[in-house]
Structure 1
Amino acid sequence: MKKTIVYKQAGSHEIKADFYGVEARNAPVLMYIHGGGLIFGSRDDMKEEQIKLYNEAGFAVFSIDYRLAPETKIADIKLDVEDAFLWLKTKGSELFQIDPERIFISGGSAGGYLSLLSGTFETKPKGIISFYGYGDIIDRWATESSAYFRAMSSVPKELVDMLIKKEPLSEGPINQRFGIYLYGRQTGSWIEDMTGYDPILQRDLVKKWSPYWNVSADFPPTLLLHGTKDDDVPYEESVKMAKALTEAGVPNKLITIPGGVHVFDENMDDPAVKDAFNEVISFLHSLS
């Protein structure tokens, strides 16, 4: 059964999350963060089939919204994710009678990035699962114009200016907001638009929001999943992240989906995807 709550009030703006519980008390929880380039998407993006899969494995699910960029910059987006985690750990554990010591964080694409960023929180999750996420936002793939996105219809700056709101928002349909992301990837302005800093001239400032550059020995155990044919977020991003975690002595595993594209988990009937989710459940159970 779904229960919608407001986990944070940012000024006059309410930020919401959906909780999908299980019958057992003191259950572990998977906190899910949606993707969308930090620009679009909502808590409703989590697939029902995946929610059911986690619930049947004994895990409650907490799917969150967060304030979207570029209206809100990454420093405050990170704070929203951290506040959602801390709300779940304190108030949520009382309201839903879940285990506050067994909270995992997962997400896809930008949600995978934010999941990895949770490894830098002062209070960390029990484990992290990143689906086609990224750890390095100062690398060239993110800061330079993308040939893949340049092959799509060019987005004029005037349209982007029309799409950007004056007030913060935390739910943004893809059909209304994708143009902002597309423009940023076509022009190479995406990271500066998300952070408010030039990733070349202010590299050290932006680096602090890159999980890859902030891995430490106390980073939570991490599972990375990525397709080799991802045209949006390079497969190498997860390879790099796995290497950094290994070098820091952090338990981790990279599950490679041969020929897998971005958002490969849309096809839950694919045998490779089914096998990957079996490994996800095994990873969660191993830490619970």
Structure 2
Amino acid sequence: MPKTITLNSFDHLLIKGTIYEAKKPIKEPIVYLHGGGLVFGEREDLPKAYIDLFLEAGHSFITIDYLLAPETKLDQIFRTLKETIQTLKLGNDYILLGRSAGAYLASLLLKSGEQPKAFISFYGYNRLDWQEFHYPNAFYNKYPRVLPLDVENLLEKQPLTSGQMDKRFPIYLSARQFGTWQTMLLNNHQEANQFSLTKTDLERFPKTILVHCSEDPDVPYQSSVEASQQILNNQLITIEANEHDFDRSVTKRNLEIYQQIINAI
């Protein structure tokens, strides 16, 4: 049975994790960060079928909370996440796994000096200056408009670490429709460089596996291609599809992709 533990706190909010113990923990534990544009999502969003593959291979699996924007800005989100990771007391003996925004936060952890044995990035990014993040997004503008004024009514009055998609996705949708996502994350635009990685940062990455759809409508596929050209020890797995979180549904193909990753680490 998975075990829920308290790892940290922020402004009276408990930051928790869930530990799935492998029956024979013979390999490094996996530390998982969920996706959701830093605005929505929750630590238990990864289908259990994928977690079971890691457990069967001897990797215990740990999912952890992090603070969400825009109620909390990125500087505090990252600062608190760094503290949370350190409370696990894993040293360097673990593997980081992140999906989308979780992969981005994992990249920031690596930039800050965390040194896991390996990093698995599902449709992630490591810079905030992609033009796709600054301009209205054609894919999201196919949805009914969510006006910025309407977003104000959706925000909480206190920090949070879990945001159900039906309640929080409209916040992200509006940000991508109007090109205001970065404004939700940062205290000022000058912070963008602080929370982006350079070629030198990427060259210091541990063994990295990048997984990305070639026609991703949300996070540019080129972000993983560029990373694969700069990370010294990496493998890029390209999925020929026009999806973002292609693995949200458990399929035979997706199980095979996860097994391929497990075999590679």
Report if TM-score (shorter chain) is over 0.5. Answer: yes
SS at match of 1:153: coil
Structure with the larger helix share: 1
Equivalent residue number for residue 145 of structure 1? 136
- How many percent of aligned residue pairs carry the same amino acid? 33
Cα separation, partners in 2 of 1:141 and 1:191, compared to 1, 3 Å: same
Alignment check: 8 A CA contact 1:142 1:190 kept? yes
Alignment check: 8 A CA contact 1:212 1:244 kept? no
AA in 2 matched with 1:146: N
1:280 correspondence with 2:247:
no
What's the CA shift for 1:241?
1.4
What's the CA shift for 1:266?
2.3
What's the CA shift for 1:123?
2.9
- The number of equivalent residue pairs is 265
CA shift digits 1:58-78 (9 cap, x unpaired): 000110111100011111222
Alignment check: 8 A CA contact 1:34 1:46 kept? yes
For the residues of structure 1 that align with 2:255 and 2:118, how far apart are their CA atoms?
21
1:121 correspondence with 2:112:
yes
TM-score, scaled relative to structure 1: 0.86
For the residues of structure 2 that align with 1:62 and 1:165, how far apart are their CA atoms?
27
1:81 correspondence with 2:81:
yes
Cα separation, partners in 2 of 1:270 and 1:22, compared to 1, 3 Å: closer
Gaps of 5+ in 1: 94-99
Cα separation, partners in 2 of 1:214 and 1:176, compared to 1, 3 Å: farther
CA shift digits 1:168-214 (9 cap, x unpaired): 0001101001111011101111012112222xxx3xx3122123556
After the TM superposition, which parts of structure 1 deviate over 4 Å for at least 4 consecutive aligned residues? none
Equivalent residue number for residue 176 of structure 1? 167
CA shift digits 1:150-172 (9 cap, x unpaired): 22111022220011112100011
For the residues of structure 1 that align with 2:209 and 2:2, how far apart are their CA atoms?
27
CA shift digits 1:66-106 (9 cap, x unpaired): 11000111112222332232111x2xx5xxxxxx4321111
Equivalent residue number for residue 97 of structure 1? none
For the residues of structure 1 that align with 2:199 and 2:138, how far apart are their CA atoms?
26
Cα separation, partners in 2 of 1:83 and 1:194, compared to 1, 3 Å: same
For the residues of structure 2 that align with 1:270 and 1:43, how far apart are their CA atoms?
24
Gaps of 5+ in 2: none
Structural mapping, 1:60-209, within 5 Å? 60-88=60-88, 90=89, 100-198=91-189, 202=190, 205-209=191-195
Equivalent residue number for residue 6 of structure 1? 6
Equivalent residue number for residue 244 of structure 2? 262
What's the CA shift for 1:118?
2.0
1:220 correspondence with 2:211:
no
Alignment check: 8 A CA contact 1:35 1:112 kept? yes
For the residues of structure 2 that align with 1:213 and 1:144, how far apart are their CA atoms?
24
Equivalent residue number for residue 57 of structure 1? 57
Cα separation, partners in 2 of 1:26 and 1:281, compared to 1, 3 Å: closer
Equivalent residue number for residue 47 of structure 1? 47
AA in 1 matched with 2:77: I
Cα separation, partners in 2 of 1:36 and 1:212, compared to 1, 3 Å: farther
What's the CA shift for 1:27?
4.5
> How big is the alpha-carbon RMSD for the aligned residues of Structure 1 and Structure 2?
1.7
1:237 correspondence with 2:223:
yes
TM-score, scaled relative to structure 2: 0.94
